[in-house]
């Protein structure tokens, strides 16, 4: 692992690191904020998964999460959204290929050799950060925005016991029924739609649910509302009687102005679960 940068930030350290990934078969980059408490021992961690077109850097610089994480003594991890490099497959469209890994393990060519973002986020990167940094592997929570909200919800429901809490900002809730999902899932996983269900938060909610608290926020003026299928998650949560706070925020859109507005709520929500759950 190599240090790209480390900067003092709210009494802690905001770092950027690269490493050779076995899962993605290329070099990967991630951001990690360590609060001041990490100097004295392992701290809880909140994962933040970003959306389409993003890198590790978008939320790290725009979401304003470090101030609230420092207040709560929580580390933040900002993974990249896909493998990258000259030898990594890509597409001309913004919503497929590099920047659009969709947090799945691709089985189809040309994506399969590198696009193993599920294994990377679920296994490889957690093992790396808990072994090399002062991170408490038993106190993890996860959040994300848009495609990253999809990833956060699906990881949480597929990995029982891993995360104390899950939240999402304007998540893609029902990708098997949306153009933000059907295109990518067919490309990465093939035409057998039975393989897609494990990556659909609304279907997972009906089948499994989540054992801890859930929080989602979506803006009423979200320009991608038809693609997010927010109502599908609401209906599935109600049918399951899931413990969840699912909010529609009046006037907000899909941007990081929206995310940063409600970041304090989300970090505080996770802190309660991480310290008391």
Residue that is written with structure tokens 């949480």 in the block: 156
Whether 138 is a known active-site residue: answer no
Catalytic residue among 56, 145, 150, 254, which?
A: 254
Residue 203 parent element (H or E) = helix 201-207
**Whole-number Å distance between alpha carbons of 97 and 188:** 9
Catalytic residue among 222, 232, 237, 266, which?
A: 222
Catalytic residue among 21, 82, 146, 232, which?
A: 146
Instruction: Transcribe 93-106 into DSSP letters.
Output: STTSBTTB-TTSB-
Residue that is written with structure tokens 């392992």 in the block: 42
Q: How far is CA 65 from the centre of its chain?
A: 14
Whether 146 is a known active-site residue: answer yes
Tell which residue, 256, 271, 222, has the closest CA to residue 64: 256
Residue 14 in 3-state DSSP? strand
Whether 132 is a known active-site residue: answer no
**Whole-number Å distance between alpha carbons of 25 and 7:** 28
Q: Which residues are catalytically annotated?
A: 146, 222, 254
């Amino acid at each position: 692992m190599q240090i790209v940068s480390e900067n003092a930030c709210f009494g802690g350290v905001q770092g950027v690191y690269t490493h050779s990934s076995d899962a993605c078969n290329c070099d990967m980059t991630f951001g990690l904020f360590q609060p001041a408490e990490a100097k004295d021992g392992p701290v809880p961690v909140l994962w933040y998964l970003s959306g389409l077109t993003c890198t590790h850097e978008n939320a790290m610089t725009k979401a304003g999460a470090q101030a609230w994480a420092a207040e709560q003594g929580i580390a933040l991890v900002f993974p990249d959204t896909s493998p990258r490099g000259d030898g990594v497959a890509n597409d001309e469209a913004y919503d497929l290929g590099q920047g659009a890994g969709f947090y799945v393990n691709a089985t189809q060519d040309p994506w399969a050799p590198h696009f193993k973002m599920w294994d990377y986020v679920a296994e490889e990167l957690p093992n790396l950060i808990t072994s090399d940094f002062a991170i408490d592997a038993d106190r993890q929570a996860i959040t994300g925005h848009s495609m990253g909200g999809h990833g956060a919800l699906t990881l949480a429901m597929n990995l029982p016991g891993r995360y104390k809490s899950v939240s999402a900002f304007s998540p893609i809730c029902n990708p098997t029924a949306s153009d933000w999902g059907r295109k990518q899932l067919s490309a990465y996983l093939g035409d057998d739609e039975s393989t897609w269900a494990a990556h659909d938060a609304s279907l997972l909610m009906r089948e499994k649910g989540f054992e801890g608290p859930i929080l989602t926020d979506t803006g009423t003026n979200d320009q991608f509302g038809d693609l997010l299928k927010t109502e599908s998650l609401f209906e599935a949560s109600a049918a399951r009687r899931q413990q969840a706070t699912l909010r529609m925020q009046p006037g907000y859109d899909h941007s990081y102005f929206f995310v940063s507005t409600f970041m304090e709520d989300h970090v505080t929500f996770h802190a309660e679960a991480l310290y008391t759950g």
